[in-house]
């Protein structure tokens, strides 16, 4: 490049110094010379006109034109950047139809434990409820057992004593004895896909398809789950306002937070749950506030439940951490991890000193539920500011339609009520909650059993997918188009500018002490053919072929012959 020629030591030979023995220019002059040289080989047309003329009026004219174009290109580019940094997005709705994974179904009893007087802690809670008024248990002014706030307080005590109650098999339901039949897609349910789950607010529950191995390719009840359950309605706790079964439909890899969206199922009915689902694919930051499901940021969040990240897991783990900090114990209604293995449970903390009972209950509740001060509602733990929890971008939502009929029909004879089955149980002294007659068996069956169907009404589902309305590539195209229109800049021009900046940096960092030999205007704007013309003139003046010919002719001359005497 010609710019480097100004700094090259090879041009400092004696002959050139004699021809161009001019004082080295100042730094501003050097910059001007370099800019003028840049304008000669750059594709920036406006700069070429400015530095390529000696007429001051023409120079001022092109400065005005170029400056105006640069100004308008700046304004429009700024508008594009402002729009881009708003990070706008649109939503695309797609309809898909394909084979899908059948969801997991978690089943619980509406009454979490069996009131059989076999657990001291459960007996304490039931007795406190029956006393109608017990300030130590935060039961105030209970009237005939119909005050729902008091019933909820008693149920809250069930979660506080969760470890002591959930680990006692004497009061928890034995679900394998309660499942009369289970079929999926006309096949018997596999025991490997059956999992017991201990949920403090619902006791021991079970989940079907927790491995996610059930697939469904057709809609309709024939290709779904069919389940018949038996629950003894006489074993419910005295503060339960209803009895029956609770179902929760969720993805197989999610923890079943049943209390968030329970489906209540009444005994004595044939219940049909027709499922449909949709999925959501949102954009992460900066367009949205969600976090990709595989982001490393999720690994740094609280998750005392283990397994895949869920927003509810994170929130409950965060609240548990705050309870431990402020209440001096951990709440058994939420999960705990090994980090707090030396912390006592709140039930143990209370049992050590009964005077702690009201204060501990109040402390836990203020961390979980809001407080009302007149019209104001305050939270002890603000999950948006006190917890580092994120909403994931990809989600699946299940919806259902609900229909029911009486079960069993009057002329239906269940297998358990056949005479041969009843006689066999009598002979083996198997205790039954009814007498060994078909009539009594059928009455029990009508009051204490439930038939449940869960299936997909349709396999077509809607995918809501967000996409950037103004992506980065479009921004680049628009900026290049604007700059090309106003000042003739192309992608090559950017590389030229980068090269020029690199040359300036090199010149002032490494060669600033080297004298710059000025170059004549003719040499700066030298035509390509000028060098060829000099070579031709030199060749004509000193033809090499003639020199070679003369040397050859001289060599061919015969030496003189000397005659001897």
Contact 128, 139 (CB under 8 A): yes
Q: Specify the pLDDT at position 145.
A: 42
Q: How sure is the predictor about 85, in pLDDT bands with cuts at 50, 70 and 90?
A: very high
pLDDT of the residue at 298: 85
For the segment 469-502, what is each residue's pLDDT rounded down to a tens digit?
999 999 999 998 898 888 888 778 788 888 888 8
User: Collapsing DSSP states into helix, strand and coil, what is residue 185?
Assistant: coil
Q: Average the pLDDT over 68-88 and give the result.
A: 93
Looking at residue 559, its pLDDT comes to: 57
Question: Taking 60 as the threshold, does the pLDDT of residue 144 lie above it?
Answer: no
Give whole-number Cα distances, 297 to 292, 310, 391, in Å. Answer: 9, 13, 12
More confident residue, 139 or 107: 107
User: What's the confidence (pLDDT) of residue 518?
Assistant: 53
pLDDT given at position 507: 73
Angle at 232 between CA 229 and CA 233, to 5 degrees: 115
**Could you report the per-residue pLDDT of 393-436, keeping only the tens digit for each?**
999 999 999 999 998 888 888 888 888 888 888 888 888 888 88
CB-CB contact of 52 with 43 (8 Å): no
319 CA to centre of own chain: 22
pLDDT of residue 453: 96
Q: What is the mean pLDDT of the chain?
A: 82
Supply angle C-alpha 528, 530, 534, rounded to 5.
140
Q: Who has greater pLDDT, 130 or 203?
A: 203
| pLDDT for res 545 | 52
Distance CA 264, CA 248 (A): 9
Q: What pLDDT, on a 0 to 100 scale, did the predictor assign at position 408? A: 87
Say what percent of the chain tops pLDDT 70: 82
Q: For residues 259-271, give the mean pLDDT.
A: 92
What is the pLDDT confidence band of residue 146, given thresholds at 50, 70 and 90?
very low
pLDDT on residue 208 = 95
pLDDT value at 306 more than 50: yes
Confidence check: pLDDT of 556 > 80: no
pTM above 0.85, yes or no: no
Q: What is the pLDDT of residues 363-389, one digit of tens each?
A: 998 898 887 776 677 778 888 888 989
pLDDT winner (highest mean) among 77-91, 119-133, 149-163? 77-91
pLDDT of residue 20: 44
Specify whether the backbone of 487 is left (phi greater than 0), alpha (psi in -120 to 50) or beta: alpha
> What average pLDDT does this structure show over 130-156?
62
Checking if the pLDDT of 322 tops 60, the result is yes
Residue 362: which of 157, 131, 166, 126 has the closest Cα? 157
Kindly indicate the confidence band of residue 547, based on its pLDDT and cuts at 50, 70 and 90.
Answer: low
Nearest to 402 by CA among 273, 219, 538, 257: 273
Tokens representing 108 are: 């619980």
Paired sense of beta strands 245-250 and 104-109, if any = antiparallel
């Amino acid at each position: 490049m010609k710019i480097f020629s100004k700094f090259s030591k090879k041009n400092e030979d004696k002959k050139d110094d004699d021809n161009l023995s001019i004082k080295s220019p100042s730094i501003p002059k050097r910059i001007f010379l370099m800019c003028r040289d840049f304008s000669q080989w750059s594709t920036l047309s406006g700069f070429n006109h400015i530095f390529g003329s000696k007429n001051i009026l023409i120079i001022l004219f092109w400065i005005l034109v170029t400056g105006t174009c640069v100004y308008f290109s700046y304004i429009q580019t700024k508008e594009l950047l402002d729009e881009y940094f708003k990070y706008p997005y649109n939503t695309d709705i797609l309809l898909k139809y394909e084979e899908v994974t059948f969801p997991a179904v978690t089943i619980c009893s509406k009454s979490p434990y069996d009131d059989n007087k076999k657990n001291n802690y459960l007996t304490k809670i039931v007795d406190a409820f029956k006393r109608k008024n017990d300030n130590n248990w935060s039961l105030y002014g209970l009237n005939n057992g119909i005050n729902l706030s008091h019933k909820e307080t008693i149920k809250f005590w069930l979660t506080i004593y969760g470890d002591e109650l959930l680990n006692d098999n004497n009061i928890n339901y034995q679900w394998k004895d309660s499942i009369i039949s289970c079929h999926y897609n006309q096949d018997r349910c596999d025991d490997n896909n059956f999992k017991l789950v201990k949920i403090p607010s619902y006791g021991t529950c079970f989940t079907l398809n927790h491995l996610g191995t059930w697939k469904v390719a057709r809609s309709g009840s024939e290709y779904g789950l069919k389940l018949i359950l038996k629950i003894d309605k006489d074993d419910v706790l005295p503060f339960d306002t209803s009895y029956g079964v609770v179902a929760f439909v969720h993805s197989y890899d999610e923890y079943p937070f049943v209390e968030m969206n329970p489906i209540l199922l009444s005994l004595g009915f044939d219940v049909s749950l027709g499922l449909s689902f949709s999925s959501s694919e949102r954009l992460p930051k900066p367009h949205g506030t969600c976090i990709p499901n595989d982001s490393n940021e999720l690994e740094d969040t609280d998750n005392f439940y283990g397994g895949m990240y869920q927003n509810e897991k994170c929130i409950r783990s965060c609240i548990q951490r705050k309870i431990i900090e402020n209440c001096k114990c951990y709440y058994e209604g939420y999960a705990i991890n090994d980090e707090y293995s030396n912390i006592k449970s709140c039930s143990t903390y209370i049992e050590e000193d009964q005077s702690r009972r009201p204060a501990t209950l109040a402390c836990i509740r203020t961390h979980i539920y809001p407080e009302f001060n007149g019209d104001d509602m305050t939270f002890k733990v603000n999950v948006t500011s006190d917890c580092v929890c994120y909403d994931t971008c990809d989600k699946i939502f299940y919806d259902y339609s609900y229909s029911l009929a009486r079960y069993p029909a009057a002329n239906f004879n269940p297998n358990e009520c056949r005479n041969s089955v009843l006689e066999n149980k009598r002979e083996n002294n198997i205790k039954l909650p009814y007498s060994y007659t078909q009539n009594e068996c059928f009455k029990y069956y009508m009051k204490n059993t439930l038939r449940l169907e869960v299936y997909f009404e349709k396999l077509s589902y809607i995918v809501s997918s967000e996409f950037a309305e103004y992506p980065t590539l479009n921004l680049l195209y628009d900026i290049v188009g604007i700059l090309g229109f106003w000042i003739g800049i192309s992608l090559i021009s950017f590389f030229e500018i980068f090269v020029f900046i690199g040359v300036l940096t090199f010149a002032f960092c490494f060669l600033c002490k080297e004298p710059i030999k000025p170059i004549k205007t003719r040499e700066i704007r030298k035509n390509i053919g000028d060098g060829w013309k000099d070579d031709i003139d030199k060749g004509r003046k000193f033809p090499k072929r003639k020199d070679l010919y003369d040397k050859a002719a001289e060599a061919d001359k015969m030496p003189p012959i000397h005659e001897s005497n």
